[in-house]
A = this chain, B = another copy of it.
């Protein structure tokens, strides 16, 4: 399971040695991004071996026509897909007129990739005997600027060893690209203009159907012995443009091509100015030069790390894991644009289409709240508010009325773009996660204003949905919810999933409470909202009735809530008693066998215990954890983190640590044997939670931050910072004690292990 080819290091991800088998996996792991764009770690030069090419622009997608074996009423006609964007990183290299290619080289040695997470720069270096026997040494540095987020930079140095040679560089742009997962082999991009100057080139292209206008651009320069060597415009076709630089080198001389490139997009600039803005960006970065731009990059990442770093002492693999997770989250989403969101694969692959799942609300928001200022989390909430009308339309398509809202399972622009009936139509608990995030946002930030301004309307739409989605069972004289899929997707179309029923009840009660609060404190907003939604007291009474008479499956014998009706009919063999050869069951078993088994893909009942822990005692948690965890196979990337937090809460640190390792190194160690498809970005926020909420025991209780710090045996110390209501608190934990340091000007009191502790600005308090 553990590929084990990534070298442990505190700050860097390192691969040593060239193995064609690992290229696609490394392309994922060494991906870089700056929130606005990103790429897989594809080689700049031509590579004819097995590779998965991927460049992505935030918010640019394609509505691929749905293709299913059997159509079910209600399926969306289109599936919005993360789109492979024009390639700007490409540089063809010719040595004595023969194209250089690692796949055909006679020997490759000292191959090394290093992703320096501290500085946000990716370096690749190697020596190779090319197919024509010329020996070269190559060092390539690449980064995507955080400061000027339209631009990335590449420095490509080639040294000729032992012999003279003529080097040709052909940096290019290419918009003739496709998606691996296209349904109908459609062309996704339409190129409208290709242009060059002496050292720059531009491709204007828009996506088919969605008409996202983009300009992909580049500038290149060659430096040889301190001199700039000028290039010439070279190839130019409908969807391809290149420049050409040539230089004769003597043995052991080197030459460096510097390439700046990137995208300007019509989301941020008027369409007709895209080339001009690209030119401006290039002017700006070329005035700085590669080195100064890189320095700014280091500064920008230093600023990010200063707030979000988690330091672990005594366990380099754990340290590398958490930093990799934090690094990737920041590469994917920096919180600068409420039209964007956190795709499950970020900028590292195509899979899953769509950019927004319930992962954002359930897993990502806590990370962004604590490591950025609260505007970032608010932007993520606003994203859903902006999609409310479409969520109402979506519910309408499924037969709901009166402004009931069902947020999509997967979306780009608010429209549903998923098409498995058991998920699209039935995994409706996602609606509850969106409501929960509103609660969580206010609880953590103390910023109530979002609720009267936007959140309450979202809550009303969601409560209306739950009210219509249940029905009264005459048999039980309770409201039941039939035909749902819970977070555990290894059960489909079940009745009375406890988690979903609990969430529905909670949503209704929470909405009713907020209605009262807004009515009393924000009268103008209240009247605006009531006017808009036509909500009546009578309707609220109906909701209340549903919440009060909700049915929850329960086993007296076991003293636990049941995941769903009929759970106890299953053949309850624990995961540990399954032969190892049968796992992972999602690869070894047919789907029906998985469904009728008791095995749980990710926290389901326990997800409810995570969200609503204050409703249950620790004894309750223990009983449910002991009942469900033994049946849990953790075959979702979102599973280990919640279980790690709960194991920590139960004082089971060894188990918590093992879950932590699994979540933090999921991609680095390729637990699920699929890292070549891309990274699991959203679950990385869960890794952060498993340290801060799990080991650190951080909670917000009655407007106060609270900690119950523990430390795994394997660690000497760990520390993290959180931004709580504009106060930055650094927490450092060892086996002996915990130190708190408040950065700021105002005192704040927190609770540690249940006791009040006053923090004084810039003083170390040890507990």
Which residue of B73, B397, B471, B493 contacts A571 across the interface (Cβ within 8 Å)? B471
Which chain B residue shows the least CB distance to A568? B475
Is A419's beta carbon under 8 Å from chain B?
yes
Q: Cα distance A493–B494 when bound, in Å? A: 8
Q: How far is the CA of A569 from the CA of B480 in the complex (A)?
A: 7
Task: Flag if B572 contacts A474 (CB, 8 Å).
Answer: yes
**Binary B-proximity of A594-630 (CB < 8 A = 1, otherwise 0):** 1110000000000000000000000000000000000
Question: A501 to nearest B CB, angstroms?
Answer: 12
**CB pair B570 A73 closer than 8 Å:** no
If A398-B592, A399-B590 touch, whether A566 touches B566 (CB-CB below 8 Å) is yes
Determine the main DSSP class of A at the interface with B. loop
Asked whether, in the complex, the Cβ of A69 is within 8 Å of the Cβ of B68, the reply is yes
A231 interface residue per 8 A CB criterion: no
Name A566-580 residues within 8 Å CB distance of B.
566, 568-572
CB under 8 Å from chain B, chain A span 59-87? 66-70, 72-74, 79
- Interchain CB contact under 8 A, A483 and B73: no
* Chain B hits for A569, CB < 8 A: 471, 473, 475-476, 480, 482, 495-496, 565
Q: How far is the CA of A471 from the CA of B425 in the complex (A)?
A: 29
What 16 new A-B contacts, CB under 8 Å, besides A74-B590, A493-B595? A66-B69, A69-B69, A72-B590, A73-B590, A74-B592, A397-B590, A399-B590, A421-B591, A426-B592, A471-B570, A474-B568, A482-B569, A482-B570, A482-B595, A483-B595, A492-B493
Contact bitstring A223-250, B, C-beta under 8 A = 1, else 0: 0000000000000000000000000000
How many copies of this chain?
Answer: 2
- How far is A494 from B482 in the complex, measured between Cα atoms in Å? 11
A565 touches B568 (CB 8 A): no
- The contact sample of 15 A-B pairs, CB cut-off 8 A, is A67-B67, A69-B69, A69-B79, A69-B420, A70-B420, A74-B591, A398-B593, A425-B592, A471-B569, A471-B570, A471-B571, A473-B568, A474-B572, A493-B493, A565-B566
Residues of B within 8 A of A69 (CB): 66-69, 79, 419-420
Which residues in B have their C-beta under 8 angstroms from that of A472? 571
Complex: how many Å from CA A587 to CA B72? 10
- Measuring CB to CB, which residues of chain A are less than 8 angstroms from any residue of chain B? 66-70, 72-74, 79, 397-399, 419-422, 425-426, 471-476, 480, 482-483, 492-496, 557, 565-566, 568-572, 586-596
Looking at the assembled complex, report how far the CB atom of A333 sits from the nearest CB atom of chain B, in whole angstroms.
Answer: 26
Contact A482 B591 (CB under 8 A): no
Q: A565-B566, A566-B566, A586-B73 are in contact. Are A592 and B67 (CB under 8 A)?
A: no
Chain B hits for A397, CB < 8 A: 590
